Amino acid sequence: MSKQRYGAGIWHFATYVDRYATDGYGEPRSIIDAIEIAGRVKDLSVVDLNWPFFGGDFSNDQVKAALDKAGLSVIGITPEIYTRTFRKGAFTNPDPGVRAEAHDLVTRACDVVRFFGADYVKLWPGQDGWDYPFQVDHQAVWCHSIEGIGALAAENPDLKFVIEYKPREPRVHMSYSGVARTLLGIEKMGQPNVGILLDFGHALFGGESAADSAQLAIDHGRLFGMDVNDNLRAWDDDMVAGTVHPIELFEFFYTLRKNEWEGVWQLDQFPFREDSIQAADLAIDFLKRCEAGLDRLDWAAMAKAQAAHDALTAQRLAQEALYG
């Protein structure tokens, strides 16, 4: 029996606004509501929580109680370093006062991680970057990107920090744009407790092969977390995993197992117009198909095909394993 654990960002079970549907895609939900809904997904074990908690003024204890009731534990805390205060950047904000606020917010988030015994602080610096040609001094922006996270890692050596890179949105260019750029930055920080949270969709969106990105992060000892979803390769659509690119998602999981990477398989989906429980169930059912496919796969034959760069044999093996 599989011991694979599945997780999800708690925002999977929230409702959303965007720049057009400013009244939201559904009734607002609090984090307590979202946890209750998450609890109804089959096979979900862990969640990543935005912090400060949304939809009300909830204590850690209240959230803990809701999680216990739902049978969920916490894998990570995501401090909201991308809201109005940080609209011109958190770590790279031109205003040192705002950079200090970002530092302070994440520092407080560290205590939330400790409270819940979570695995990491997740940093998604979506407002850190630039929009226009000539807008910024690129050296300064990149230095701030590195220093801001490096300082937090140094001050909290008991915790792990994960950076979730993405090419863009809401910024037109994000500083932590891709796997290699993020690894370059992490190496510069020189801290052992900073790694990557690799989002499959962000890799696709950035023109990467997610399997290659995972291998690179693993080879640098920096793959600390992952999540999956799907998109049309041109935007972070956060669609249900497996609905568009099943083969590449299977290759991503193949790479994880090949390297004996044994973390949680998480979902980062935004079901704007769909039922969030069904969206999670559909994705997890596909993830289980991937697991079964990896059990079925002829690993020796695959290794041999890959050693010869034999695309057709490798594809045939992959299809046979995945489709069963």
Q: Which range of residues in 36-44, 101-109, 115-123, 127-135 is near its own copies by CB under 8 A?
A: 127-135
296 binds its own copies (CB under 8 A): no
Q: How far is CA 241 from the centre of its chain?
A: 13
Within 183-242, the residues that bind its own copies by CB under 8 A are: 183-184, 187, 206-209, 211-212, 215-216, 219, 232-235, 237, 239-240, 242
Q: Which range of residues in 29-37, 67-75, 79-87, 221-229 is near its own copies by CB under 8 A?
A: 79-87
Minimum distance, C-beta of residue 218 to its own copies, in the bound complex (Å): 8
289 binds its own copies (CB under 8 A): yes
Q: Give the number of other CB atoms < 10 A from CB of residue 97.
A: 7
141/159 with CB nearer its own copies: 141
Select from 2, 68, 140, 299 the one that contacts its own copies (CB under 8 A).
Answer: 140
Within 84-113, the residues that bind its own copies by CB under 8 A are: 84, 87-89, 94
Minimum distance, C-beta of residue 114 to its own copies, in the bound complex (Å): 26
Select from 282, 284, 287, 290 the one that contacts its own copies (CB under 8 A).
Answer: 282
Select from 13, 53, 253, 270 the one that contacts its own copies (CB under 8 A).
Answer: 270
158/307 with CB nearer its own copies: 307
Binding mask 17-56 for its own copies (x = CB under 8 A): xxxxxxxxxx------------------------------
Select from 127, 145, 156, 266 the one that contacts its own copies (CB under 8 A).
Answer: 127
29/159 with CB nearer its own copies: 29
24/263 with CB nearer its own copies: 24
